[in-house]
């Protein structure tokens, strides 16, 4: 069993109890929020950072906060990816000034740190304006960590990346001065600890467009779960392997053998695989397509499946209702289109009604349950898409591994 990660409570008390200058922290956050015309359209990730920021502020810490935003090319500033709107929203939520530092390397990082006042927050401009960030460059890491007293990572959504701010900066501090923030601690409790010795039955729900995107996690849950629910376009590859007609539905022909292996592994461990028994279909993949209900497992040759049908929704909801632990990753259909949203909405409702531990594993599932107004009705909604998937697969994430070092 991997050692526990260090958390804020594990930091040396001497950091916060001295008579001299208050400690200065390097705080890596995930503030990669969606923007439209320079305006934030969803501030979920900013809100998720607030508890750790408040903890540090209450402990009189001087804070250097940083994140990436979007996908700049790494060749200097790109105004459309500036952290300025993020800093403004942070200041609103905290009721405290947040100072944006655009040229932190050119200005001299040491001077910035020495000028920090107790409880002050400085937000660095987009880390990915510098190509060294994604390259994991150690010289870059040393420059942006000089003069600071400890390291805190609360950027769960980026923990599967070995970026400089995620690993190399952490390694600039001794292990006892590295810690996970409150968000990462919560993510680990639900995505890792919940599956150490879960109470049965455990149900895993997988959807989305491709089997190929989820092979490792599907294989993992043939060992961890009692039920596996399959929806979305990936279900048609399963159905075709089993000999059913799937019409014009999307099928990954090169993954039929892999699906067979997954089904055999599940059967060997007596894991029940639930697949669609009816469908909502259309003649083409079109936002204005008219939905056609197909009451059988097979789909006519002129149609493609775009959502699970009502019988399938009830079947899946019944399995969820009796589960002690449920994890969901991937929509049941094209939930972005109202005429094909009902299958995904039914899963969201079933998760909300379930009395067990209910975990939404980030990405489109998190977007869907938020869209349907049910995010507050489940045990946990992960902020990390790729990171949550890799953690569920059992992988050691670079940004988590560095927080375990020297900790038992």
Question: Tell me, what's the pLDDT at 104?
Answer: 84
3-state secondary structure of 292: strand
The predicted pLDDT at position 317 comes to 98
Say whether 349 is catalytic.
no
Omega prior to 201 cis, within 30 of 0: yes
Is-catalytic flag, 385? Answer: no
Q: How far is CA 364 from the centre of its chain?
A: 10
Helices of type H across 26-181: 44-58, 84-94, 109-114, 131-134, 138-143
Options 47, 96, 131, 210, the catalytic residue: 210
d(CA 207, CA 213): 10
**Beta-bridge mates of residue 153:** 28, 180
Q: Is 343 considered catalytic here?
A: no
The sheet with strand 272-274 has its strands ordered as: 272-274, 227-230, 202-206, 325-329, 357-360, 380-381
Q: Are 150 and 25 in contact (CB under 8 A)?
A: yes
Q: Alpha helix locations (H) across 147-293? A: 182-191, 215-224, 234-241, 256-268
Look-up of token digits 């909405």: 345
Q: How far apart are alpha carbons 405 and 391 in whole angstroms?
A: 18
Name the packing angle between helices 310-321 and 342-353 (round to 10°).
20
Give Cα 152 to chain centroid, integer Å.
Answer: 18
Report the Cα–Cα distance between both ends of the chain, in Å, rounded: 10
Structural contact between residues 125 and 104, judged by C-beta atoms closer than 8 angstroms: yes
Catalytic residue among 250, 386, 401, 404: 386
Q: SS3 for 122? A: strand
**Parallel/antiparallel/unpaired status of strands 279-282 and 304-308:** antiparallel
What global pTM score does this model have? 0.87
Q: Walk along the chain (408 residues) and give the pLDDT tens digit of each residue.
A: 456 889 999 999 889 876 666 899 999 999 999 898 889 988 989 999 999 999 999 998 999 999 999 999 999 999 999 999 999 999 999 999 999 998 888 767 777 787 887 778 999 999 999 999 999 999 999 999 998 999 999 999 999 999 999 999 999 999 999 999 999 999 998 888 778 888 899 999 999 988 988 899 999 999 999 999 999 999 999 999 999 999 999 999 999 999 999 999 999 999 999 999 999 999 999 999 999 999 999 999 999 999 999 999 999 999 999 999 999 999 999 999 999 999 999 999 999 999 999 999 877 898 899 999 999 999 999 988 788 888 888 889 999 999 987 655
Sign of the Cα pseudo-torsion (195, 197, 199, 202, in order)? positive
Distance CA(92)–CA(243), nearest Å, equals 57
Annotated catalytic residue: which of 356, 363, 384, 399?
363
Based on the residue annotation, tell me whether 143 is a catalytic residue of this protein: no
The answer to whether the CB of 231 falls within 8 A of the CB of 316 is: yes
Please tell me whether residue 100 adopts helix, strand or coil conformation. Answer: strand
Length in residues, the chain: 408
Token duo for residue 344: 């995904």
DSSP letters along 315-376, please? HHHHHHHT-SEEEEES-SS-TTSGGG-HHHHHHHHHHHH-SSEEEE-SHHHHHHHHHTT-GG
- Candidates 45, 178, 186, 255; catalytic one: 45
């Amino acid at each position: 069993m991997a050692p526990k990660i260090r958390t804020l409570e594990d930091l040396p008390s001497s950091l916060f109890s001295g008579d001299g200058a208050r400690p200065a922290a390097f705080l890596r956050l995930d503030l990669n929020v969606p923007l439209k015309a320079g305006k934030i359209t969803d501030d979920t990730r900013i809100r998720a950072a607030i508890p750790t920021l408040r903890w540090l502020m209450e402990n009189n810490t001087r804070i250097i906060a940083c994140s990436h935003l979007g996908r700049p090319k790494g060749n200097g500033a790109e105004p459309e990816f500036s952290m300025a709107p993020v800093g403004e929203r942070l200041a609103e939520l905290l009721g405290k000034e947040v100072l944006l530092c655009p040229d932190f390397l050119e200005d001299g990082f040491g001077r910035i740190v020495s000028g920090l006042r107790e409880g002050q927050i400085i937000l660095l401009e987009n880390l990915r304006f510098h190509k060294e960030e994604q390259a994991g460059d150690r010289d870059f890491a040393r420059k942006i960590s000089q003069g600071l007293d400890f390291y805190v990572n609360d950027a769960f959504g980026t923990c599967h990346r070995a970026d400089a701010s995620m690993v190399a900066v952490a390694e600039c501090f001794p292990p006892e001065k590295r810690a996970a923030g409150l968000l990462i601690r919560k993510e680990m409790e639900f995505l890792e600890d919940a599956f150490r010795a879960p109470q049965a039955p455990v149900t895993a729900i997988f959807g989305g467009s491709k089997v190929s995107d989820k092979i490792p996690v599907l294989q993992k849950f043939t060992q961890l779960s009692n039920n596996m629910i399959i929806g979305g376009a990936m279900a048609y590859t399963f159905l075709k392997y089993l000999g059913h007609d799937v019409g014009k539905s999307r099928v990954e022909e090169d993954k039929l053998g892999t699906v067979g292996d997954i089904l055999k592994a599940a059967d060997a461990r007596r894991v029940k695989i639930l697949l669609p028994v009816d469908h909502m279909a259309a003649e083409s993949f079109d936002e204005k397509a008219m939905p056609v209900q197909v009451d059988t497992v097979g789909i006519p040759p002129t149609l493609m499946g775009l959502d699970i049908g009502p019988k399938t929704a009830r079947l899946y909801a019944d399995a969820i209702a009796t589960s002690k632990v449920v994890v969901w990753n991937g929509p049941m259909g094209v939930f972005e289109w109202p005429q094909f949203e009902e299958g995904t909405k039914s899963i969201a409702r079933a998760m909300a009604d379930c009395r067990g531990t209910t975990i939404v594993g980030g990405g489109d599932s998190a977007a869907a349950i938020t869209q349907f107004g049910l995010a507050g009705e489940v045990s946990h909604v992960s902020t990390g898409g790729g990171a949550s998937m890799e953690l569920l697969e059992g992988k050691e994430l670079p940004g988590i591994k560095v927080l375990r070092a020297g900790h038992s």
